[in-house]
Amino acid sequence: MLYPESAWEPGVHRTAVIGAGVVWQDPVAIGPYAVLGRGVRLGKNVRIGAGAVLGDGVELGDEVQLLPHVVCYSGTVVGSRVILHAGVRLGSDGFGYVPGKSGEMPRKIPQVGRCIIGDDVEIGANTTIDRGSVDDTVVGPGTKIDNLVQIGHNCRIGARCLIAGQAGIAGSTHVEDDVFLAGQAGLADHVTIGRGARVTVQGGVIGDIAPGATVSGYPARTHREFLRAQGALYRLAHIVDDLEALVRGTDEPQP
């Protein structure tokens, strides 16, 4: 009631481009200038916004909503009841390069995995999720992802996770079920975040996090340790004053 949905008209807009072998189940709504590649498969009640692009072989489940200008690269698989907000990019190449010798260009590693999105996922505007290099990149069912999040290749995101804006997850990281990542949290590659763990705002994770733990800061440590360290940091100026007074041989710290 407070945020009424815009009306979607069933049918295919006359400016949409539909590739060979595309299959859908009515009703479907495909908006202006949308592009569907060869062999795309759509479930029931799928809504595709203006300017969205689905590469060859993309699969969408039932009741999926793609807002304007969403791009799903070839081979991407999206479950049912998924919402992809404007500008989402799924299945782009991961950052895979081999450094060259001195003076040589880095060599690109082919990215041949897929991007798979589970049921009941919602992904915010301008978020990007890379395809896998060999294995698939997977987002589990019920996970909710905010705007401007980056998820690297081969990552496995569990079920019911909450990932806030500008979080970044480097390649091959495993985020288990029910994890919360606050805004601008950063996860290094090849780490595991245990089930139910929480990473607070701007937390920088460079190693595995135990299930149920809450971590903060960089490098991330337990939240209690982080608070103690921050408290000590704010007392440093007074400690320095006291040390300087001792060096001068007086008990009175200087202003």
Point out the residues that are catalytic: 153
Q: Is the separation of the CB atoms in 205 and 188 below 8 Å?
A: yes
Q: What is the DSSP secondary-structure string of 23-62?
A: EE-SSEEE-TT-EE-TT-EE-TTEEE-TT-EE-TT-EE-T
- What are the two backbone dihedrals, phi and then psi, of residue 105, each rounded to the nearest 5 degrees? -75, 145
- Token pair, residue 187, equals 């996860």
CA nearest neighbour of 69 among 18, 28, 128, 114: 128
CB atoms within 10 A of CB 147: 16
Angstrom distances, CA of residue 187 to CA of 146, 207, 208: 16, 8, 10
- How far, in Å, CA of 110 to CA of 95, rounded? 10
